A and B are shown apart, each in its own frame.
Chain A
Amino acid sequence: MRISRSTSPRIGRRELLLGMSSLSALFCVQATRAATLSGGALRSGVVHQKFMSVSSLLVPHKLNETIGIRTADAMIATVPDFPEHLEQLASFIEAKKPADVEELMEALPDVSLKNAAQSIIESWYTGAVQGASTISVISYEEALMFKVTSDVMTIPSYAISGPNGWTADAPPLSQLPIF
């Protein structure tokens, strides 16, 4: 992991700022692609479609396809054996047709496939892909972990209400938002 620090005595402001914006590159192989998130330039291939289809069973929520494509790309690039695991998960689902993620996880025969499934779930919830030696940050505010409490809690750095617009009221714990 390279630390964004040059030992050159001739570091200008431009280089410094570049160093700063590449802060994320320290941790995220995908940092430069972040810009394309809203640009719509990403095209979905067969692997991506498979990833979305497996994900839709693993994560029973509305999934953003652009994020899916970028997550799959990061997994292909950084997670060992990901394409094989994805293939096996897809075939297993095709063959057994589990009704939901609960049934699938119960039925999965081997630990490495369970772990692969779990890491796909984790990437949707955290907005990041944990690779062998890197973490790729795919999304911030779209990470599903924030949606689970979006009826009450602020996503840090985004506003949920307006000036002095929040109160001490909170909805019931049991009332999960739909997302």
Chain B
Amino acid sequence: MVNETKYDVVVVGTGVVGCLIAEQALDAGLSVLMLEAGPKVDRQTIVENFRNLPPSLRHHWDAPFPPPPWAPVLETRTPGEENAYLDLTGPNATAYQQGYVRYAGGATWHWAGICWRMTPEDLKLKSLYGVGRDWAFDYETLEPYYARAEYALGVCGPTDAALQWPPKTPRSRPYPMGPLPLGPGEQRFTDVMAPLGLQNLPAPQARNSGVSYDGRPACCGNNNCFPVCPIAAKYDAATALPRIEAKGGKLLTNAVAYRIEADDRHKIQAVHYYDPHRTSHRVTGRAFVIACNGIETPKLLLLSKDDRHPNGIANSSDQVGRNMMDQPKLKATVEMSEPLWTGVGPVQGSSILNTSQGDFRSEYAGAMFRMENMARGSIGAAEALKKGLYGRALDQEIRRLSACTGLLVVEHEPLPSSINRLTLSDKKDWLGLNRPRIYYDVGDYVRRSAEQYTIPTLKKMAAALGATKFDLNPEFLHSDHIMGGCIMGKDPSDSVVDVDCRSHDHENLFLPGGAAMTTGGSGNSTITMAALALKAADAIVAQFKTA
């Protein structure tokens, strides 16, 4: 056992959530240690890994990020491989095949960077529509943290208030950068959807629009935001790490936290981690932040059970690992007679959100619709080659299929449900730690929405685009926004953390990020996770000031 110096704040996880908190704590003069399960890997290695993949694997976002044995994640390169880590069960197990990266920097390495805020109504599902739960605070409380998160990540967005989300809701600050241009596909999609009452908004995106920001260059439309932005124009947490280290933060990589240790008075004293030699180490601190993401954070709490905490750390409510959420996704491929031309600009740049709001939410889920903007050249080529074409006919067919096909996507708002539960699997990983087992059922609220609302809407959208083919994949898929496993609430008997993501059970333990989210909304969730991280950081700093 090696004993490290005692730090003011020990942060486990170097994703966006961990990095935001670490930097705030350092700026307030606190000493910070960050533990990271995976290695530090440079951008060029990941870009080369991507380019060296066989063409059929280039759409597997996990493939350029092979995990070391001690920090496994879900992988999808070979058939059956997806079952090797996450132990998924339940009627919609496929919809919980969550992708993330356990490298320094975390999953923002391959996020798309889309940053929709939740709306005031999204935070009040129970009181407005009688479903789910209400958040413990209202939108006005969250708004300043959204603005800070947008500046911390460098989010570009529309300056025209009519194009901002949430609608008719004051912003305390404009976006730090103006919007990115739309390519031909997203512009055409916007124009065609408008007469249907579907407003396709330019997305707020964590990539630099027209100018450099935070030492990172302007986006040049490389259309590779997932799996990796080759030039770091898109925010990813790896870009924050050199700054954190320059400010005096200590970073330990290849350090897999496996136990949180509490004392007799429920105060957290230490975190134990394994190095790649399976040697255990113990680090001590005054405040502890577990920012390992919505799956790994509840897993670590459950792994940490001891005699005084038989259900795991922070789990007197028995809510740790329950209420697992994500926006269940449906996809439809469309083929048209007219060209759409996706693949110009970022991989995602706009979405329809007015479909996420309305009184119908008492009956079924709201949803966000969009058209993916990925370059479809390789997809078109694979299809055309399969037809056995050659010569000019081959070129014409590749061009037609690349230009005249598209992917429509809908992501449904989930409700927290205690049956959607993460527990410890009896199957172990390379270090001998229990793998996460997750039961997942998207629920009737989402199923009703798909049947009565979103699938019919997808069909209408396809018809308006002049689709000659509409191919719906009827299986719910994952959106990779992992939420709910340490749910926030005022009542310690049915929630895990308070309004500052502080554990109800342990005053010096913070569990910020997706796990703390009370409900999920329809939009991409990371900006909300980031806002919660900044709120938690303020609380941590305040706690040190009053101590």
Residues on A facing B (Cβ under 8 Å): 1, 3-7, 9-13, 16-17, 19-21, 23-24, 26-28, 31, 34, 58, 60, 100-102, 105, 117-118, 121-122, 125-128, 135, 137, 140-141, 143, 145-146, 148-149, 152-170, 173, 176
Contact = CB atoms under 8 A, between A and B. Distances in A.
A58 B385 CA distance: 13
B276 A12 contact: yes
17 contacts: A9-B278, A11-B69, A17-B45, A23-B66, A27-B53, A101-B391, A125-B394, A127-B55, A137-B55, A152-B184, A153-B344, A156-B224, A156-B375, A158-B222, A159-B222, A165-B220, A168-B183
Given A9-B277, A126-B381, A148-B402, A168 B220 contact: no
A157 B51 contact: yes
Contacts of B186: 168
B41 A153 contact: no
Given A9-B276, A145-B381, A165 B221 contact: yes
Contact of B184 (A28, A160, A168): A168
B52 A153 contact: no
Interface string B324-355: 00000000000000010111110000000000
Chain A contact surface mostly: loop
A153 B220 contact: no
Contacts of A16: 39, 68
A137 to B, nearest CB: 5
Contacts of B68: 5, 11, 16, 19
A110 B540 CA distance: 75
Given A23-B64, A28-B52, A154-B222, 8 more contacts: A24-B52, A26-B77, A105-B390, A118-B390, A149-B377, A157-B223, A164-B180, A173-B339
B378 A163 contact: no
Contact of A20 (B49, B77, B402): B49
A152 B221 contact: no
A126 B430 contact: no
Nearest to B186: A168
Interface in B18-61: 39, 41, 45, 47-58
B391 A146 contact: no
B58 A128 contact: no
A173 B403 contact: yes
B51 A102 contact: no
B210 to A, nearest CB: 4
B385 A149 contact: no
Interface of B: 39, 41, 45, 47-58, 63-64, 66, 68-69, 77-78, 180-184, 186-188, 208-211, 217-224, 228, 230, 254, 276-278, 339, 341-345, 374-378, 380-382, 385, 388, 390-396, 398-400, 402-404, 430
B181 to A, nearest CB: 6
Nearest to B178: A164
A27 B57 CA distance: 10
Nearest to B220: A159
Contact of B54 (A7, A28, A58): A28
A164 B181 contact: yes
Nearest to A140: B51
B465 to A, nearest CB: 15
Interface centre among A60, A140, A148, A156 (most CB of B within 10 A): A156
Contacts of A167: 181, 183-184
A132 B375 CA distance: 29
B398 A145 contact: yes
A143 to B, nearest CB: 8
B339 A163 contact: no
Contacts of B47: 157
Contacts of B188: 168
